[in-house]
Homo-oligomer: A and B are copies of this chain.
Amino acid sequence: MSYEDSFAALADPTRRHLFEMLAAEPMPVGALASRLPVSRPAVSQHLKVLADAGLVTVRAEGTRRIYAVRPQGLAELRAWLDRYWDEVLAAFAAEITKPTKGN
C-alpha cells in the first residue's frame, strides 16, 4: 500500500498486463485469465499482489470478483516520480555544467 510495493507489483510483465487490461475496463478474474498465457490461479495470485499494493480493488458480483484499477495507487507512484523528477533534472544540469568534479 505504498509506492514501494507499487514498483515491485508493476515490475512483473504479467501484472503490468493485468493492470493495463483493468485500466481499459473492470473485469472478473476469468476474463483476465482467458486473455493471458497463464493459469487462473496464477492470475489470482498476481491480483492479490496488485491489490496489496493498492493498485486495484475488488467488488463481488454474484460468484464473480470484479477487479478495477485504483487511481490512488497510481497517484502514489506519480508522487514518488514527481518528488525525484526535479532533483534528477537539477543533478543532471549540475553534471553537464561542471563535467569534472573539482572544477
B-contacting residues of A (Cβ < 8 Å)? 4, 7-8, 10-11, 13, 16, 19-20, 22-26, 59, 61, 66, 68-71, 74, 77-78, 81, 84-85, 87-89, 91-92, 94-95, 99-101
15 contacts between A and B (CB under 8 A): A4-B16, A7-B7, A7-B11, A7-B16, A22-B91, A23-B84, A24-B87, A26-B95, A26-B101, A68-B95, A69-B91, A69-B92, A71-B89, A74-B85, A74-B88
CA–CA, A97 and B101, complex, Å: 56
- A interface, by DSSP: helix, strand, loop or mixed? helix
A84 touches B20 (CB 8 A): yes
B23 touches A91 (CB 8 A): yes
